[in-house]
């Protein structure tokens, strides 16, 4: 073992360092299970240990890659054989829950689900929610500025963070564990780290905002006859209901998840062009349920929906959400799968998807297949494509089809998953050269030796 690893082990202990097979057995890619190639995984227990670890790495010019729950899907956790992984998995404590101030203070390695459960214990809620909730960590959610299914009501991770602590590449600890809603004392430094994908500092602790728990939850799956009806439906339910989620499923997605794969019960016939999952949160179960079905009736009469199924138990609710969230079905059915997460103004979505379908069909008439779903209210589409070939050339060609039109629409190559390595070459579609130049200046200012998550988000050379 080289001297640096020995010195690091002296800080974190033998339990805190993984080598050899313990490293390669871990995956860096949720979709493919590709193994971790780093030379070691260092697992500090505290901010102090991490600070000492990074100070030594800084002296030794040792690059590091941070790992949270490893559910990120843009190759942000990929590590080269000469890089070290820093895993936050042993920093997973909930440090303080404050029902009066409506805050929770946690270490960055705690899972999202653990935080949600801790909030429920005091009859509150932590509203960020996404399919990977059981594995993804708060540090990863902050580093990627995660979105998920309730952004329409509560915003992204950025809106949930009141304060945070981060360690810079030279080991400096910047502790800004603010608990107040209002604090305009100079620059809001936490914003530097939110969404920076581990390239500017490693997040170690955070103070998060809790929200009042909403005991009444109404959920429906509806069939929608056209894209125009889908947008009108979104308008109607946004104005009339306490909307917390509005997830659109194109017919190709619904059909694959239900009748084609046989994995989920087709709760509605599979011949509608669009489907939507509508969810509201409120305070009065009886009144909310009644009002919810009245609004859906109104939508039916206006021709905005043609059929609907309303959940009246939590297992029915889970059945509806499983159609949207069971990504494993897609991974299996569309193998090898390319996954995209784009955003664009809602009025352009239909034309964008239609053109993409036609281009795919023209280039891969035999093998091309795509499914589309997403957080419609946020302008966010998830597009899963297979051409039954994952060669770099095919990947590149499909990326061109997906990303190139976004510039014209003023869209983004990353709505919520981040840039990582996967989308770095396409950053200029969504950001100007001045913006990218400023990102590079910020990277150099905070991480002058380029040791944190090298090559992710922006390339310095
Ligand atoms: P990781 O995958 O471990 O890391 C992600 C990035 O953050 C990497 O660049 C890593 O280096 C960096 N990082 C991790 N921890 C830290 C830290 N403490 N300090 C600094 N940098 C760090 N995302 C959404 O936004 N919305 C969704 O709806 C959504 N649904 C998903 C559903 C499934 C089934 C899956 C597999 C993923 C989904 N994702 C979604 C993507 C993913 O879950 C999120 O990006 C999540 O925030 C990643 O958290 P993580 O702990 O797994 O981070």
Give me ligand 1 centre to Cα 209, in Å. 19
The preferred substitution site among 68, 93, 420 for testing ligand 1, maximizing ligand atoms within 8 Å of CB, is 68
Q: In this predicted model, what pLDDT tens digit does every residue of 389-420 receive, in sequence order? A: 999 999 999 999 999 999 999 999 999 999 99
Give me ligand 1 centre to Cα 14, in Å. 27
Cβ of 67 closer than 6 Å to ligand 1, yes or no, is: yes
Residue nearest to atom 27 of ligand 1 (CA): 148
**Is the full-model pTM beyond 0.90?**
yes
Cβ of 28 closer than 6 Å to ligand 1, yes or no, is: no
CA 166 to ligand 1: nearest atom:
19
Q: Does residue 208 carry a pLDDT above 90?
A: yes
Cβ of 130 closer than 6 Å to ligand 1, yes or no, is: yes
What would the mean pLDDT of 275-287 be, rounded to a whole number? 96
What would the mean pLDDT of 249-270 be, rounded to a whole number? 96
**Residues of the chain above pLDDT 70, percent:** 100
CA atoms within 13 A on the CB side of 187: 5
pLDDT for res 139: 98
Q: In this predicted model, what pLDDT tens digit does every residue of 90-134 receive, in sequence order? A: 999 999 999 999 999 999 999 999 999 999 999 999 999 999 999
pLDDT for res 1: 67
Spatial neighbors of 436 by CB under 8 A, at least 6 apart, are 427, 428, 458
Q: Look-up: residue for tokens 């609710």?
A: 317
Q: Does residue 174 carry a pLDDT above 70?
A: yes
Cβ of 66 closer than 6 Å to ligand 1, yes or no, is: yes
Cβ of 219 closer than 6 Å to ligand 1, yes or no, is: no
Cβ of 454 closer than 6 Å to ligand 1, yes or no, is: no
Residue nearest to atom 36 of ligand 1 (CA): 71
Cβ of 202 closer than 6 Å to ligand 1, yes or no, is: yes
Select the more confidently predicted residue: 377 or 207. Answer: 207
CA 131 to ligand 1: nearest atom:
32
CA 420 to ligand 1: nearest atom:
9
The preferred substitution site among 78, 140, 342, 412 for testing ligand 1, maximizing ligand atoms within 8 Å of CB, is 140
Give me ligand 1 centre to Cα 71, in Å. 5
pLDDT for res 461: 75
Cβ of 197 closer than 6 Å to ligand 1, yes or no, is: yes
Cβ of 194 closer than 6 Å to ligand 1, yes or no, is: no
Cβ of 76 closer than 6 Å to ligand 1, yes or no, is: yes
CA 73 to ligand 1: nearest atom:
41
What would the mean pLDDT of 251-275 be, rounded to a whole number? 97
What is the rounded average pLDDT for all residues in the chain? Answer: 97
Q: Taking a C-beta distance cutoff of 8 angstroms, is the pair 326, 263 a contact?
A: yes
Cβ of 453 closer than 6 Å to ligand 1, yes or no, is: yes
Q: In this predicted model, what pLDDT tens digit does every residue of 150-164 receive, in sequence order? A: 999 999 999 999 999
* pLDDT tier at 254, thresholds 50, 70, 90: very high
Cβ of 148 closer than 6 Å to ligand 1, yes or no, is: yes
Q: Please tell me the distance from the alpha carbon of residue 458 to that of residue 144, in angstroms, as a whole number.
A: 14
Domains along the sequence of the chain with CATH:
3-87 (3.30.43.10), 94-212 (3.30.465.10), 216-327 (3.30.70.2190), 334-417 (3.30.70.2740)
Give me ligand 1 centre to Cα 67, in Å. 9
Cβ of 137 closer than 6 Å to ligand 1, yes or no, is: yes
Cβ of 416 closer than 6 Å to ligand 1, yes or no, is: yes
Q: In this predicted model, what pLDDT tens digit does every residue of 234-245 receive, in sequence order? A: 999 999 998 999
Cβ of 225 closer than 6 Å to ligand 1, yes or no, is: no
Give me ligand 1 centre to Cα 226, in Å. 33
Q: Does residue 266 carry a pLDDT above 90?
A: yes
ipTM confidence score:
0.99
Residue nearest to atom 22 of ligand 1 (CA): 198
Q: Does residue 219 carry a pLDDT above 70?
A: yes
Cβ of 164 closer than 6 Å to ligand 1, yes or no, is: no
Cβ of 377 closer than 6 Å to ligand 1, yes or no, is: no
Cβ of 143 closer than 6 Å to ligand 1, yes or no, is: yes
pLDDT for res 242: 85
């Amino acid at each position: 073992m080289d001297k640096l690893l020995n010195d690091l082990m002296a800080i974190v202990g033998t339990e805190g360092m993984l080598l050899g097979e313990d490293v390669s057995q871990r995956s860096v890619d949720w979709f493919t299970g590709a193994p971790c190639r780093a030379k070691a995984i260092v697992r500090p227990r505290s901010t102090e240990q991490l600070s000492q670890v990074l100070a030594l790495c800084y002296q030794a010019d040792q690059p590091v890659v941070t790992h949270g729950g490893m559910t990120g899907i843009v190759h942000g956790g990929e590590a080269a054989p000469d890089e070290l992984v820093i895993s936050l998995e042993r920093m997973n404590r909930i440090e303080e829950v404050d029902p009066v101030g409506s805050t929770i203070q946690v270490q960055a390695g705690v899972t999202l689900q653990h935080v949600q459960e801790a909030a429920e214990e005091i009859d509150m809620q932590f509203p960020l929610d996404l399919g990977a909730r059981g594995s993804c960590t708060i540090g990863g959610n902050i580093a990627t500025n995660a979105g998920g299914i309730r952004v329409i009501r509560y915003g992204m991770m950025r809106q949930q963070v009141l304060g945070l602590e981060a360690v810079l590449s030279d080991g400096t600890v910047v502790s800004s564990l603010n608990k107040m809603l209002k604090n305009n004392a100079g620059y809001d430094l936490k914003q530097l780290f939110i969404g920076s994908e581990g390239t500017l500092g490693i997040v170690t602790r955070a103070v998060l905002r809790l929200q009042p728990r909403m005991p009444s939850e109404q959920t429906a799956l509806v069939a929608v006859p056209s894209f125009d009806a889908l947008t009108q439906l979104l308008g109607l339910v946004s104005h009339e209901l306490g909307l917390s989620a509005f997830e659109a499923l194109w017919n190709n997605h619904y059909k694959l998840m239900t009748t084609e794969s046989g994995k989920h019960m087709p709760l509605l016939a599979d011949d509608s062009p669009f489907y939507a999952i509508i969810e509201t949160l409120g305070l009065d179960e009886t009144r909310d349920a009644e009002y919810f079905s009245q609004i859906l009736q109104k939508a039916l009469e206006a021709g905005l929906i043609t059929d609907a199924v309303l959940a009246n138990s939590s297992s029915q609710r889970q059945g509806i959400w499983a159609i949207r969230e069971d990504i494993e079905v897609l991974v299996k059915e569309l193998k090898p799968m390319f996954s995209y997460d784009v955003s664009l103004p809602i009025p352009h979505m239909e034309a964008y998807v239609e053109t993409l379908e036609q281009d795919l069909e023209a280039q891969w008439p035999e093998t091309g297949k795509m499914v589309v779903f997403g957080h419609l209210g946020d302008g966010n589409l998830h597009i899963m494509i297979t051409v039954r070939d994952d060669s770099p050339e095919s990947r590149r060609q499909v990326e061109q089809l997906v990303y190139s039109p976004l510039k014209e629409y003023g869209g983004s190559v990353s709505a919520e998953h981040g840039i990582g390595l996967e989308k770095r070459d396409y950053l200029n579609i969504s950001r100007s050269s001045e913006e990218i130049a400023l990102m590079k200046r910020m990277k150099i200012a905070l991480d002058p030796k380029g040791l944190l998550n090298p090559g992710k988000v922006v390339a310095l050379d």
